[in-house]
């Protein structure tokens, strides 16, 4: 074989391995060891890892501008990785990751049968952070439930914003979930040692805690958390639009319509329609709430109508227009009254107060939108 051909093949192989190193670096590899007693019940190592990954994937699939690592089962190799192993080139992948600082996140877990309970000992390895040990127990020895619980709690240490976003979404849809517990967990994550280059996620997490605080009935804390979110220099410009719109919503609750107008104008300055096509509808809904709180019912209704022009299935705008129609008919407004919905409604945006809540501008009372 000619030297040029050998050189070309070597370059191709090296390029493939380098590509595998980069791809793997953007993942979170999960490996779980199981005791014989659990394996004899039918749960294999790969099945356990798939259950763990399924929980993570459900959370990671929620739309968000905050990046999150892609979960991957350790026992399931990439195509390039499978080719590299028989050639004994797997160490090259690891060496390249170390050279370029592309260390992937690794979760290594071992399940232990202690007779009266199952224990899952988990080690989380993240670049720039010390190894973290987490321990989970299950007295009823339900291995699958243990793995699912461990998956969510472990992922909260790796991607706290995304896990909190998923929990907030669940709380908004299910009133039986304890809001106080979810809020406490999120605040605990805020108090941890974050390390460098974490402004984006910390800022966004403060914003979610503001929504949880409002859901918990704590308006001053909601205002404080919005200010904390907005104070991070490295916060995403698109995220600041959320903070401004949430700040406007809280200002209406507190009766400060001047601040509500200023925050709304700040939110409207960033073009968000390409990122979130229905976002202009919420700008108009917030404008309508400010008009309504100021006694301008006609202007408020016009704003809600414009919102439906951007998003005809917007449940919040439909409810507000229904309320105004009832008032114009001379009926006493019942905030539990909802218009009949004959088609599906647009998806809720959990981190956006004007989407997650309904506000009665007459007395500043707040309730869930769903």
Mean pLDDT across the stretch 212-240? 95
User: Which of the four pLDDT bands, split at 50, 70 and 90, describes residue 78?
Assistant: very low
**pLDDT number for residue 4:** 53
Among 235, 268, 301, identify where a domain stops. 235
Whether 226 and 246 map to the same domain: the answer is: no
**pLDDT number for residue 27:** 65
Give the span between the Cα atoms of 208 and 166, in whole angstroms: 10
Give residue 283's domain range. Answer: 237-370
**pLDDT number for residue 270:** 87
Give the span between the Cα atoms of 361 and 365, in whole angstroms: 7
SS3 284: helix
Domain at 281, CATH number: 1.25.40
Whether 15 and 100 map to the same domain: the answer is: yes
Q: What is the pLDDT of residues 82-111, one digit of tens each?
A: 444 454 444 444 444 444 444 568 888 999
Name the domain count of the chain.
3
Give the span between the Cα atoms of 355 and 276, in whole angstroms: 13
Whether 87 and 223 map to the same domain: the answer is: no
Mean pLDDT across the stretch 156-180? 90
Whether 120 and 226 map to the same domain: the answer is: no
**Token pair in block for residue 97:** 């990751």
pLDDT at position 243 over 70: yes
**pLDDT number for residue 2:** 56
Distance set, CA 125 to CA 28, 101, 104, 154, 193 (Å): 10, 14, 8, 11, 15
Whether 178 and 146 map to the same domain: the answer is: no
Among 235, 257, 287, identify where a domain stops. 235
* The residue to which tokens 């995304």 are assigned: 162
Whether 67 and 165 map to the same domain: the answer is: no
User: Which of the four pLDDT bands, split at 50, 70 and 90, describes residue 343?
Assistant: low
Q: What is the pLDDT of residues 110-166, one digit of tens each?
A: 999 998 999 999 998 877 778 889 999 999 999 999 999 999 998 888 889 999 999
Q: Are strands 105-113 and 27-33 parallel, antiparallel or unpaired?
A: parallel
């Amino acid at each position: 074989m000619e030297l040029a051909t050998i050189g070309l093949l070597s370059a191709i192989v090296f390029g493939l391995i380098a590509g595998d190193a980069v791809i793997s670096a953007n993942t979170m590899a999960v490996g779980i060891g199981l005791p014989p007693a659990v394996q004899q019940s039918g749960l294999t190592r790969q099945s356990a890892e798939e259950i763990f990954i399924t929980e993570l994937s459900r959370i990671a699939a929620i739309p968000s501008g905050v990046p999150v690592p892609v979960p991957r089962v350790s026992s399931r190799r990439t195509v390039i990785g499978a080719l590299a192993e028989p050639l004994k080139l797997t160490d090259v992948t690891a060496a390249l990751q170390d050279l370029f600082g592309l260390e992937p996140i690794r979760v290594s877990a071992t399940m232990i049968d202690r007779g009266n309970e199952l224990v899952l000992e988990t080690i989380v390895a993240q670049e720039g952070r010390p190894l973290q040990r987490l321990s989970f127990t299950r007295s009823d020895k339900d291995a699958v439930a243990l793995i699912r619980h461990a998956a969510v709690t472990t992922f909260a240490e790796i991607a706290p914003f995304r896990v909190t976003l998923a929990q907030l979404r669940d709380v908004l849809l299910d009133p039986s979930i304890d809001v106080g517990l979810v809020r406490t967990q999120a605040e605990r994550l805020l108090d941890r040692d974050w390390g460098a280059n974490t402004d984006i996620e910390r800022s966004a997490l403060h914003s979610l805690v503001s929504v949880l605080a409002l859901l918990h009935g704590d308006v001053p804390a909601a205002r404080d958390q919005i200010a904390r979110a907005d104070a991070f220099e490295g916060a995403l410009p698109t995220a600041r639009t959320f903070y401004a719109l949430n700040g406007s919503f809280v200002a209406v609750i507190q009766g400060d319509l001047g601040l509500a107008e200023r925050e709304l104008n700040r939110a409207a300055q960033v073009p968000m329609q390409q990122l979130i096509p229905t976002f202009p509808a919420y700008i108009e809904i917030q404008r309508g709430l400010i008009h309504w709180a100021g006694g301008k019912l006609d202007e408020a209704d016009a704003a809600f109508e414009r919102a439906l022009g951007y998003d005809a299935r917007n449940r919040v705008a439909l409810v507000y227009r229904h309320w105004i129609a009832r008032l114009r008919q001379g009926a006493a407004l019942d905030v539990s009254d909802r218009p009949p919905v004959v088609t599906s409604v647009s998806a809720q945006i959990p981190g956006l107060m004007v989407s997650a809540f309904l506000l009665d501008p007459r007395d500043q009372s707040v309730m869930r939108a769903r």
